[in-house]
Amino acid sequence: MSLLSPADVRFTDSFWAPRMRTNAETTLYAQRDQIETTGRLDNFRRASGRKPDLPFQGIFFNDSDVYKWLEGAAWSLKTCPDEKMAEIVRGAVQDIVAAQRPDGYLNTYYACDLADQRWTNLKDMHELYCAGHFLQAAVARVRATGDTDLMDAAVRVADNIAATFNKDNPGACGHQECEMALVEMYRQTGDRKYLDTAVMMISARGRKPPLLGGSPYHQDHLPYNELEENVGHAVRMLYMNCGAADVALETGDPDLKKALDRLWNDFTGRKMYITGGAGARHEGEAFGGPYELPSRAYAETCAAIAVVMWSARMLCMKGDPEYADVMERALYNGVLSGLSLDGTQYFYENPLSDRGNHRRKEWYGCACCPPNLARLLAELPGYAMGVSDDTLWVNLYVRGEARFALKNGTSGTIRIDTDYPWDGKVVVTLELDRPSEFSLKLRIPDWVDAASDSINGEMPVVATAGYIKEHRLWKTGDRIELNLGMTPRTWQAHPRVEGARGRVAVSRGSLVYCLEAVDNPGFDVWDARVDPRAEWTPAFHEEILNGVVTLRAVGSAADSESWGNDLYRPAGPGTRERAVTLTAVPYYAWANREPGPMTVFI
């Protein structure tokens, strides 16, 4: 399967479409102001000689934030045209291209007084990481707008990398990212050397002598094909998995596919948060050991974004619905929690419990997450659907429409009408250029206990989790109706997940829920108890959090105040409890109101 281009899909729903508009009208403008006032754009002007007297400003990999913002702006201009933003982008492009060196090298940290040190510290200095984000921005710009100004510079950057690093002089970055970008350059240009360079970068790790110090933190302790578990810095590991999946998609390498399967099973079976988040440890922003998933999670927003990216690539490779399930879980929970409802503030970390001190910020010195969110939101329509030879795949349910073309000659428009994620009714209507025989695959998420579907009002059939495959001669006006059961469900973690032992989490549809103090006055949500068999009642509330379905259940609250100053007591009768009503809201929306305790596991 290959995903449709974001340019071919249009969202018109009340959940994602407003967020994309906010991204275009608020988030990208605010981020542009930040990269300007923090000197990130001035670094390019310094490198080009336009502002030669300025010092380099910020962290040495600040170029990457500009590139991610630019990638997001490129796709946003396609879906939400804006001439003012288009002019801002043109100015930024001119500043960037002017900073490029004659041999194609582009990095503002090493552009001036440190020019003799470029490529001398691949482990720490992120040169290839920055270059990768530049290449991805260039590909996005040409695909979204047709402008080739960045792509011309990107070819020179990629040529410089391919000429510098090869099987005779292997090289890879301490922070993976360039592997994905080089494969994308190959797809865009057809130049095989970019793919070959990506293959080299993946195979160069874990060799003797070590290329990057040999540490698990940098995933340099073993060759990729020998890895049994996800280790080290979570975003780097996940980006490497994305790059390996891209290479496997292009080359069919069976050893890479086996390694990806092992690492996927390790992640989803032992190291993934219920929100789709990744990275347990604050130290090193790293994966922990098996089942090491404390509620005070690090769970960096960029890591959840990487989970979406990796899931999508695995879905394209294997067509298995479990990858779409994880992609959806991470998207609606671990990713979306990273952005405030007004689109101006961000989480770097996404814990599953908090006392009310963790709040979003307008920007960070290390600002990798904000522009990463902006680019994902701008590109999001491209994750919703895919095509293969004679099959149209629907992976995410969002009201809107998409133009598609299959290799068997079928072409047309698919329209989806739904109030997902609040409601499980989905109506799919086809408008074809001519009647055609092909397969339509509609995903039944893993959280669905039972679903039904019908075609043109014919007798509905019960479907289970997976993809419903309907192969027939389709014509314009054909209508498929799905009804996905959205009964709230409670979940318990593996017994070895210590922080969740004896606790449950609640979800409805694709959304994981949490208790926030503001909705539960009169008791501390950390003291809340609930019977795992309790019935949670959904209700839509337009007046809070931009409109959400809340869940309510009868529970109890422990009287922790009765302990006074005692930290420990002799074991005896349990703490007194009183009956309370628990109100849960979607996890993605927490910390948008007054501060207070929050918990996912109850």
Residue-wise pLDDT for 390-418, tens only, equals 999 999 999 999 999 999 999 999 999 99
Q: For residue 65, is pLDDT > 90?
A: yes
Q: Give CA–CA dist 28/187, Å, rounded.
A: 27
pLDDT value at residue 575: 78
Give the model's confidence band at 261: pLDDT under 50 very low, under 70 low, under 90 confident, else very high: very high
Burial of 52 (0-12, 13-18, 19+ CB in 10 A): exposed
DSSP symbols for 406-447: -TTS-EEEEEEEE-TTT--EEEEEEEESS-EEEEEEEEE-TT
pLDDT value at residue 435: 97
pLDDT value at residue 449: 82
Which residues neighbour 213 within 8 Å (Cβ) at sequence distance 6 or greater?
123, 220
Output the six-digit token pair for 227: 């890895």
Look up tokens 């298995």; give the residue: 320
Least confident range from 137-141, 230-234, 446-450: namely 446-450
- Sheet of 466-474: strand order equals 2-3, 385-388, 391-394, 436-444, 466-474
Residue 370 and residue 385 in contact, taking contact as beta carbons nearer than 8 Å: no
Residue 562 and residue 576 in contact, taking contact as beta carbons nearer than 8 Å: yes
Q: Give CA–CA dist 439/485, Å, rounded.
A: 24
Kindly report, residue by residue over 492-524, the tens digit of the pLDDT: 999 999 989 999 999 999 999 999 999 999 999
As a dihedral over the C-alpha atoms of residue 167, residue 170, residue 176, residue 177, rounded to 10 degrees, the angle is: -60
pLDDT value at residue 356: 97
Look up tokens 């503002």; give the residue: 108
- First-residue to last-residue Cα distance in the chain: 39
Q: What is the mean pLDDT of the chain?
A: 96
pLDDT value at residue 319: 96
Cα radius of gyration rounded to whole Å, the chain:
25
Closest among 173, 168, 193 to 183, alpha carbons compared = 193
Burial of 131 (0-12, 13-18, 19+ CB in 10 A): buried
Give the model's confidence band at 18: pLDDT under 50 very low, under 70 low, under 90 confident, else very high: very high
Q: For residue 556, is pLDDT > 90?
A: yes
Which residues neighbour 289 within 8 Å (Cβ) at sequence distance 6 or greater?
none
Which residues neighbour 566 within 8 Å (Cβ) at sequence distance 6 or greater?
none
Kindly report, residue by residue over 339-378, the tens digit of the pLDDT: 999 999 999 999 999 999 999 999 999 999 999 999 999 9
β-strand partners of 20:
none
Q: Once rounded to an integer, what is the mean pLDDT over residues 227-243? A: 98
Closest among 315, 138, 334, 139 to 234, alpha carbons compared = 334
Helix (H, G, I), strand (E, B) or coil at 397: coil
Q: For residue 465, is pLDDT > 80?
A: no
Q: Among the options 130, 178, 242, 368, which is catalytic?
A: 368
Closest among 227, 89, 68, 96 to 157, alpha carbons compared = 96
In angstroms, the Cα distances linking 415 to 308, 387, 400 are: 24, 15, 6
pLDDT value at residue 569: 86
* Angle between helix 40-48 and helix 83-98 axes, rounded to 10 deg: 50
What DSSP character marks residue 346? Answer: B
pLDDT value at residue 463: 74
Hey, what domains does the chain have and what are their CATH numbers?
387-484 (2.60.40), 489-599 (no CATH)
Q: For residue 464, is pLDDT > 80?
A: no
Output the six-digit token pair for 424: 């499980």
Q: For residue 50, is pLDDT > 90?
A: yes
| Phi, psi of 295, rounded to the nearest 5 degrees | -65, -25
Closest among 196, 218, 223 to 207, alpha carbons compared = 223
pLDDT value at residue 59: 97
Q: For residue 81, is pLDDT > 80?
A: yes
Q: How many CA atoms lie within 13 A of 464 on its CB side?
A: 0
The Cβ of residue 429 has, within 10 Å, a number of other Cβ atoms equal to: 16
368 in catalytic set: yes
Q: How does strand 505-508 pair with strand 511-516?
A: antiparallel
In angstroms, the Cα distances linking 98 to 43, 67, 88, 106, 111 are: 11, 15, 16, 10, 12
Q: How does strand 353-354 pair with strand 598-599?
A: antiparallel
Output the six-digit token pair for 347: 């989480």
112 in catalytic set: no
Closest among 132, 133, 212 to 172, alpha carbons compared = 212
Which residues neighbour 30 within 8 Å (Cβ) at sequence distance 6 or greater?
343, 344, 362
If you count DSSP H runs as helices and E runs as strands, how many of each does the chain have, helices first? 14, 21
Q: How does strand 2-3 pair with strand 391-394?
A: unpaired
Q: Among the options 127, 179, 184, 285, which is catalytic?
A: 285
Report the largest interatomic distance among the alpha carbons of the chain, rounded to a whole angstrom.
78
Would you say how long the chain is, in residues?
602
pLDDT value at residue 193: 98
Residue 408 and residue 438 in contact, taking contact as beta carbons nearer than 8 Å: yes
Burial of 423 (0-12, 13-18, 19+ CB in 10 A): middle
Give the model's confidence band at 572: pLDDT under 50 very low, under 70 low, under 90 confident, else very high: confident
